[in-house]
Amino acid sequence: MSASDMINDCPVLDLRNIQFSLTHAKYLLSEEAIIQTQIKDFKLGNALADAFIVDKLFILEMHTNAVSGVSLEFEGRDIISIKDFSREEINHIFKTAKSMEPIAAKGSEMLRGKILATLFFEASTRTRLSFEAAMHKLGGSTIGFAEAEIASVKKGENLADTIRTVDKYANVIALRHPLEGAARLAAEFAEVPVINGGSGAEEHPTQALLDLYTINKEKGRIDGLKIAFAGDLRYGRTVHSLAYALSLYNVELYLVSPESLKMRREVLQTIKEKIPVIEKTSLEKIVPLVDVLYVTRIQKERFPDPAEYAKVKGSYKIDLQTLSEAKKDLIVLHPLPRVDEIAAEVDNTPYARYFQQVWNGIVVRMALLSLILGATK
């Protein structure tokens, strides 16, 4: 079937005649005429035709939600902990992120005039740059700093005053801070929404959303999966947020770590009430069982004692030998950065999906920015 046949046969095209009050639906509909003309002119291929149909399906779902009275409030909301989100809300973020995939390729003006401040008191490549890229792709702009050394905290300014100041410059703040609770504190002082880009070893909620989005996209579902985390489950904030998020689904969770880096007790207590959790120290017997292997770095910078780090350094190394008994359709994820826990020889296998995760970080963060700034309902 050709791209234009696919478009003509698409059962939701008649939705063009329906008036939508939802801003984002209007945006997609206004793009439709241009895309359709380009497809008819054979300037664009199947990939864009697919994106076009995805857009139509998104509009259909938006319409269905509007008709069924489902109302999800994101505008003006802080994103501090993944525990603040329901499964229905996460599903809505997924749908919005999916609608962002073609927009990420073309760019848009949805957030023109809006400013994102990225205040990163700790090192970051992906979180800060993907938030900034997401904002630029939506037509907005960014300000901020990438290390505390160049901000006025160096002169003794506290976090509350920094936030009260940046609040006057920006429409939304993304914050990374070494202290647990810092994002919650910032949200208390800010009028504009605050997004937690990582708070010490506590949480990293937007990473959990992009991890879940990746699992759903790669496996077609989350329910029914067997998922293993391997590495530093004590100091790794991404696994804390992802564990809370996965406890909303029907999954089996395997937690593989050295004894000294086991999952934090408060996370375990919460998730064990909702899903089966199996703790192990060896990966060998777990790899053949699971559908998703989520690997994390040992978080050297969070160890109070370097001698303790030396004991667990290099505990797990995923290589082709480790994966020799894995299911054919296993996917290996990693929030990155990695040090030596996944060998480079895995990168070119069908298991490796960690760089797809990086791309998904853009569309998920585009979705979050557009939702909390009210450009999408």
| Identity of the residue, 294 or 309, whose beta carbon is nearer to ligand CP in the bound complex | 294
Q: Can you say how many angstroms the Cα of residue 217 is from the centroid of all Cα atoms in its chain?
A: 12
Minimum CB separation from ligand CP for residue 196, in Å? 11
Catalytic status, residue 176: yes
**96, 127, 322, 376: which is the annotated catalytic residue?**
127
Give the integer Cα–Cα distance in Å for 103 and 97: 10
Of positions 81, 207, 247, 370, contacts ligand CP by CB under 6 A: 207
Minimum CB separation from ligand CP for residue 231, in Å? 13
**Taking Cα atoms as reference points, which of 63, 59, 57, 61 lies closest to residue 10?**
57
| Identity of the residue, 39 or 210, whose beta carbon is nearer to ligand CP in the bound complex | 210
Minimum CB separation from ligand CP for residue 337, in Å? 6
Quick check: 99 and 366 in contact, CB under 8 A? no
- Edge to edge, the sheet with strand 226-230 lists 277-280, 252-256, 226-230, 292-295, 331-333
Give the integer Cα–Cα distance in Å for 84 and 94: 16
Token reading at 309 = 């780090």
Quick check: 354 and 342 in contact, CB under 8 A? yes
**43, 155, 265, 328: which is the annotated catalytic residue?**
155
Minimum CB separation from ligand CP for residue 358, in Å? 8
Minimum CB separation from ligand CP for residue 25, in Å? 32
Catalytic status, residue 204: yes
| Identity of the residue, 196 or 216, whose beta carbon is nearer to ligand CP in the bound complex | 196
Q: Segment 173-202, which members bind ligand CP (CB under 6 A)?
A: 198
Q: Site size for ligand CP, by CB under 6 A?
A: 10
**24, 176, 177, 377: which is the annotated catalytic residue?**
176
**98, 137, 177, 204: which is the annotated catalytic residue?**
204
Classified as helix, coil or strand, 354 is helix
Minimum CB separation from ligand CP for residue 316, in Å? 18
Quick check: 106 and 48 in contact, CB under 8 A? no
Give the integer Cα–Cα distance in Å for 355 and 365: 16
Catalytic status, residue 126: yes
Strand locations in 105-251 (E): 115-120, 141-145, 172-177, 194-199, 226-230
| Identity of the residue, 326 or 332, whose beta carbon is nearer to ligand CP in the bound complex | 332
Q: Segment 327-366, which members bind ligand CP (CB under 6 A)?
A: 335-337
Classified as helix, coil or strand, 293 is strand
| Per-residue CA distances from 249 to 90, 267, 275 (Å) | 11, 16, 8
| Identity of the residue, 114 or 204, whose beta carbon is nearer to ligand CP in the bound complex | 204
| Identity of the residue, 212 or 375, whose beta carbon is nearer to ligand CP in the bound complex | 212
Cis peptide before 288 (omega within 30 of 0): no
Give the integer Cα–Cα distance in Å for 191 and 76: 9
**Taking Cα atoms as reference points, which of 288, 298, 350 lies closest to residue 322?**
288
Quick check: 334 and 340 in contact, CB under 8 A? no
Q: Is 13 exposed, middle or buried (0-12, 13-18, 19+ CB in 10 A)?
A: middle
Q: Segment 89-128, which members bind ligand CP (CB under 6 A)?
A: 124-127
| Residue 76 interacting with ligand CP (CB under 6 A) | no
| Identity of the residue, 42 or 355, whose beta carbon is nearer to ligand CP in the bound complex | 355
Minimum CB separation from ligand CP for residue 221, in Å? 24
Catalytic residue positions, numbered: 126-127, 155, 176, 204
Q: Which residues are near ligand CP by CB under 6 A?
A: 124-127, 198, 204, 207, 335-337
